[in-house]
């Protein structure tokens, strides 16, 4: 997979603090890339640098292999966390204005806008003023404005905040559809469950540094704590004897209503896994044996607290 | 193509304002308001006179009372009562005027006992009348024949017309009326002041609004902050230009086509004579020359074109200079209340200019007038007030050049503050911090 955007050793200092300290990351084309991090970590600064709103002190940003240029901004769509539209302007007129700022002709923009408005079932909003819309309605308009010029790179900062579950889902599907059509998406959020659902890659920024980068699957597997859950039936003493010395039994969770009982094990050495399974299989009736993969939420908290 | 982005922004800012009903209303109503403001003092004087004041006169000399003339504000009534008694009994009158018996030798022996505070005009009315009466009495003592007829003939009033020497050689001896020039100068100076304040703070408010509605963040992902700021400034400037053009057309239509039809024939002849520089004809027409000159100026299309041309250039130049500063202040704050303190360095020179204008209009060719109409911050208001006095072209050009040059410099500085300011929320920055922002690197 080709890389659409790479950030190389970018640092940005403000008078009082360092916003970004030697941050590098590579965003593969056609991926949904999660940009994670606690508040104030430097995510917004990084997004602004990619958008060319501010310039880095050192380092550079490459767009399709070349240093990012002013014209590239037209190939980026940005939905900031703080949404904003001109309140007194009519919805249609405003959407046209933003589309033309991104280089679309009036005709082309009108055509595409009509399609999107139809898709979202909001044709009747065209002549309404933005101040007449609810917050969620305005966000839909803002989403359309962001993606209308079919940018190669889409940057969404907390896109689901303020949406009800139905509309959040609608939006998620639209984002994934855009990715399938070839767009690359940078997705900045605190909401870890949405990261697991839609992100392929992530970068975790904490205190202005990139502390964790990679494919979501790899990261979760890599940071698994080698903990396994076993469901079984039979003699507990026999089981304990079988695995003794090979691994550590963490807890035994009794489930009265079920004929199977569960147990958590810590297998320190990956090579031991097979022998543990074999030994247990001899001793009791094994129903399941699976690795407990940590959630992104756990990884996030542990990484930020420095206990990863 | 950043140019086309600026154009789009200009278009948006312009449409947003011009489509408002308030724009149309203020464009149509303001000229009438200005005329009303100018006419107001006359109306106030006419209708604020109140009732006629009655004054009892005790004239021990017998010389003055018969000649005291009553008018709509005061009525004199001779009485035979003694002063003390009159003061007690005639409390329903405004007052009692006592004139001593040897008033001819001792003209200070005049006393007015008033039941309420008197006005300056009433006092001077009484003293002027008594002085005239006494003068006439004294003249009579010389026993001149036909004195009344001589006095009638001697009585003269003078109304002067002024012409510019340096113009008359070219046969273009346009009559110069300083009264008309003063009035026009005042109006122009105030228009400039109004435009700088109103349109300048319009830019500031609009920046604050964009910041508060967070639309700025979306905008700067598509356009450079500099383009955004310039687009807004120029868009609002276009509104100002349209407004002035509309006013210009309105005034010139009224002055050039409507007024000549409304004026009486002899006044029109006088006006034409004035415009063609034939003072003799003017003085023969028997009309008030000051009045004629004002009308002549109003109906002279060339003169009005020059005035509106300059007005346009100075309004735009002054507006650009100040709006850049207003935009910088707007970017630094979250709401209009916080802006007031930072606005000080902007409003001070405007107010100084207004004060200077009042001084300059008294003597439009003084050193003071010259310098304040050249220095960019005060020049728009002060120069505009001087222009009706027909000042040399090179002064106007110098003033304009400096004004537009300083606008370029100011935009450069303001853009630096703007860039930092639009992303600063929360704490209200001090002027010192604004100065620091200018040195930030982006």
The answer to whether residue B308 sits within a structural domain is: yes
Q: What is the mean pLDDT of chain A?
A: 87
Contacting residues of A for B210, CB less than 8 Å apart: 84, 86
Is B138 within a domain? yes
Q: Average pLDDT for residues B262-275, to the nearest whole number?
A: 67
**Interface contacts A/B by beta carbons within 8 Å:** 59
pLDDT of residue A255: 58
Our CA-based measurement puts residue B224 at a distance from the nearest CA of chain A, in whole angstroms, of 7
Band (pLDDT 50/70/90 cuts) for residue B170 is: very low
Both B149 and B184 in one domain: the answer is no
Average pLDDT over residues B119-133: 85
- For residue B161, is it within any domain? no
The verdict on a CB contact (< 8 Å) between A100 and B8 is yes
**CA-based nearest residue in chain A for residue B215:** A84
Nearest CA in chain B to A75: B222
Nearest-by-CA chain A residue for B437: A15
B43 inside domain: no
Which of A189-198, B73-82, B268-277 shows the lowest per-residue confidence on average (mean pLDDT)? Answer: B268-277
Which range, A2-16, A115-129, B261-275, B412-426, is most confident?
A115-129
B210 and B147 housed in the same domain: no
Residues B123 and B190 in one domain: no
Contact A89 B218 (CB under 8 A): no
Question: Within this chain, do residues B148 and B292 fall inside the same structural domain, yes or no?
Answer: no
Q: Are residues B190 and B277 in the same domain?
A: yes
Of B213, B221, B436, the CB nearest to A87: B213
As for the ipTM of the complex, it is 0.77
A51 touching B (Cβ < 8 Å) = yes
The pTM is what?
0.73
Out of A53, A70, A97, whose CB is closest to B220?
Answer: A53
Q: Does B84 touch chain A (CB under 8 A)?
A: no
- Quick check: A76 and B221 CB within 8 A? yes
Q: How many domains does chain B have?
A: 2
**Is residue B315 included in any domain, yes or no?**
yes
Last residue within a domain, chosen from B95, B123, B154: B154
Same-domain check for residues B117 and B233? no
Distance CA A154, CA A32 (A): 9
Q: Under an 8 A CB cutoff, do B8 and A102 touch?
A: no
Burial class of B248 by CB neighbour count within 10 A (0 to 12, 13 to 18, 19+): middle
Q: Do A89 and B213 touch (CB under 8 A)?
A: no
B28 and B86 fall within a common domain: no
Same domain, B254 and B383: yes
Q: If contacts are CB pairs under 8 Å, which of residues 76-135 in chain A contact chain B?
A: 76, 78, 80, 82-89, 97-98, 100-103
Which of B154, B189, B213 is a domain's end point? B154
Query: Does the CB of B216 have a partner CB in chain A at under 8 Å?
Result: yes
Mean pLDDT computed over B134-153: 81
Cα angle vertex A217, ends A211, A219, to 5°?
25
Residues from chain B contacting residue A98 (CB–CB below 8 Å): 218, 222
In chain A, the domains with their CATH numbers are: 3-221 (3.40.50.300), 225-292 (3.30.70.1150)
pLDDT one-digit tens code per residue, A180-206: 999 999 999 888 888 888 899 999 998
B144 in any annotated domain: yes
For residues B273 and B307, state if they share a domain: yes
**In this structure, are B135 and B233 located in the same domain?**
no
pLDDT recorded at residue B174: 46
Which distant-in-sequence residues (6+ apart) come within 8 Å of B104 by Cβ? B61, B63, B134, B137, B138
Whose CA is closest to A42, among A31, A54, A30?
A54
A80 Cα to chain B: minimum distance (Å): 7
Candidates A55, A82, A88; nearest CB to B217: A82
* Nearest-angstrom CA–CA distance, B136 and B140: 6
**Residue B365 and residue B383 in contact, taking contact as beta carbons nearer than 8 Å:** no
Q: Which of B88, B123, B154 is the last residue of a domain?
A: B154
Does A83 sit within 8 Å of B8, measured CB to CB?
no
- Cβ within 8 Å, pair B222-A98: yes
Residue B28 lies in domain: 2-35+177-437
Instruction: Read off the pLDDT of each residue in B398-425 and give the average, rounded to a whole number.
Output: 89
The residue among A220, A218, A216 whose CA lies nearest residue A203 is A216
- Contacts (Cβ under 8 Å, ≥6 apart) of B45: none
B385: helix, strand or coil: helix
The nearest alpha carbon in chain B to A85 belongs to B215
Specify the range with the lowest mean pLDDT, choosing from A225-229, B132-136, B211-215, B438-442. Answer: B438-442
Chain A residues with CB inside 8 Å of B224's CB?
70
Residues B64 and B193 in one domain: no
- Report, as an integer, the average pLDDT of A269-287: 86
Per the domain annotation, does B313 fall within a domain? yes
Which chain A residues have a beta carbon less than 8 Å from that of B214?
Answer: 80, 82-84
Non-local CB neighbours of B407 within 8 Å, separated by 6+ positions: B317, B320, B321, B324, B376
Query: Which residue in A has a C-alpha nearest to residue B20's C-alpha?
Result: A88
Contact call for A101 and B222, based on CB within 8 A: yes
**What's A228's DSSP letter?**
E
Mean of per-residue pLDDT scores for chain B: 80
Residue B10 has pLDDT above 80, yes or no: yes
- In chain B, the residue whose alpha carbon lies closest to the alpha carbon of A51 is B221
Say whether both B20 and B118 belong to one domain.
no
Contact B388, B303 (CB under 8 A): no
The angle formed by the CA atoms of residues A135, A137 and A141, to the nearest 5 degrees, is: 115
The answer to whether the CB atoms of B2 and A78 lie below 8 A apart is: no
B234 in a domain, yes or no? yes
Q: What's the whole-number mean pLDDT along residues A39-46?
A: 86
B16 contacts chain A (CB < 8 A): yes
Residues of A in contact with B427 (CB under 8 A): none
CATH of the domain at B111: 3.40.190.10
């Amino acid at each position: 997979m080709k890389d659409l955007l790479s950030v190389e050793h970018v640092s940005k200092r403000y008078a009082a603090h360092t916003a970004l300290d030697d941050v590098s990351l590579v965003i593969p084309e056609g991926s949904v890339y999660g940009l994670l991090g606690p508040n104030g970590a430097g995510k917004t600064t990084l997004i602004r640098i990619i958008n060319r709103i501010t310039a880095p002190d050192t380092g550079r940003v490459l767009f399709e292999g070349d240093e990012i240029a002013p014209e590239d901004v037209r190939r980026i769509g940005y939905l900031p966390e703080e949404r904003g539209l001109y309140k007194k302007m009519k919805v249609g007129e405003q959407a046209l204005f933003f589309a033309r700022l991104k280089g679309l002709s009036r005709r082309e923009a009108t055509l595409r806008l009509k399609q999107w408005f139809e898709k979202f079932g909001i044709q009747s909003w065209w002549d309404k003023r933005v101040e007449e819309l609810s917050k969620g309605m305005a966000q839909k308009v803002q989403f359309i404005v962001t993606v209308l010029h079919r940018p190669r790179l889409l940057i969404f900062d907390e896109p689901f905040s303020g949406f009800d579950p139905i509309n959040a889902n609608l939006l998620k599907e639209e984002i994934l559809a855009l990715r399938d059509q070839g767009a690359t998406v940078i997705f900045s959020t605190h909401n870890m469950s949405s990261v697991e659902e839609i992100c392929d890659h992530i970068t975790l920024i904490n205190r202005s540094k990139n502390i964790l980068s990679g494919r979501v699957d790899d990261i979760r597997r890599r940071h698994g704590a080698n903990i396994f859950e076993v469901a079984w039936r039979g003699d507990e003493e026999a089981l304990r004897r079988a695995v003794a010395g090979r691994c550590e039994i963490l807890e035994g969770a009794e489930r009265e209503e079920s004929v199977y009982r569960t147990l958590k094990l810590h297998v320190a050495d990956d090579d031991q896994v097979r022998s543990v399974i074999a030994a247990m299989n001899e001793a009791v009736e094994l129903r399941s044996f699976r690795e407990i993969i940590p959630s992104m939420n756990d990884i996030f908290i542990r990484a930020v607290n420095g206990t990863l | 193509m950043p140019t086309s982005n600026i154009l789009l922004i200009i278009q948006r800012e312009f449409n947003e304002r011009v489509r408002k009903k308030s724009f149309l209303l203020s464009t149509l109503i303001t000229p009438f308001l200005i005329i009303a403001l100018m006419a107001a003092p006359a109306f106030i004087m006419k209708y604020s006179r109140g009732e006629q004041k009655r004054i009892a006169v005790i004239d021990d000399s017998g010389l003055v009372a018969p000649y005291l003339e009553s008018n709509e504000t005061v009525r004199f009534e001779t009485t035979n009562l003694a002063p003390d008694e009159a003061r007690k009994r005639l409390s329903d009158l405004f007052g009692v005027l006592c004139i001593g018996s040897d008033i001819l030798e001792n003209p200070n022996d005049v006393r007015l006992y008033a039941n309420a505070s008197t006005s300056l005009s009433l006092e001077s009315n009484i003293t002027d009348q008594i002085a005239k009466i006494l003068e006439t009495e004294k003249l009579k003592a010389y026993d001149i024949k036909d004195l009344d007829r001589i006095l009638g003939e001697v009585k003269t009033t003078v109304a002067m017309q002024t012409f510019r020497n340096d113009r008359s050689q070219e046969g273009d001896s346009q009559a110069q009326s300083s009264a008309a020039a003063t009035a026009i100068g005042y109006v122009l100076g105030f228009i400039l002041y109004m435009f700088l304040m109103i349109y300048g703070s319009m830019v500031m408010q609009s920046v604050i609004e964009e910041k508060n509605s967070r639309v700025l963040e979306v905008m700067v992902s598509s356009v450079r902050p500099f383009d955004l700021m310039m687009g807004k400034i120029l868009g609002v400037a276009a509104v100002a230009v349209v407004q002035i053009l509309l006013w210009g057309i309105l005034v010139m239509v009224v002055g050039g086509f409507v007024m000549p039809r409304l004026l009486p024939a002899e006044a029109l002849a006088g006006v034409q004579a004035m415009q063609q520089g034939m003072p003799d004809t003017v003085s023969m027409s028997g009309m008030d020359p000051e009045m004629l000159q004002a009308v002549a100026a109003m109906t002279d299309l060339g003169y009005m074109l020059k005035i509106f041309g300059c007005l346009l250039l100075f309004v735009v130049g002054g507006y650009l200079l100040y709006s850049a500063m207003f935009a910088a202040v707007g970017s630094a704050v979250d709401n209009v209340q916080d802006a007031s303190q930072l606005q000080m360095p902007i409003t001070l020179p405007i107010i100084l200019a207004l004060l200077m204008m009042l001084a300059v209009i008294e003597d439009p060719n003084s050193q003071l007038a010259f310098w304040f109409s050249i220095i960019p911050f005060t020049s728009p208001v002060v120069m505009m007030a001087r222009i009706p006095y027909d000042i040399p072209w090179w002064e106007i050009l110098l003033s304009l050049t400096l004004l537009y040059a300083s606008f370029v410099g100011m935009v450069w500085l303001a853009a630096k503050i703007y860039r930092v300011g639009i992303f600063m929320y929360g704490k209200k920055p001090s002027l010192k911090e604004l100065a620091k922002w200018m040195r930030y690197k982006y």
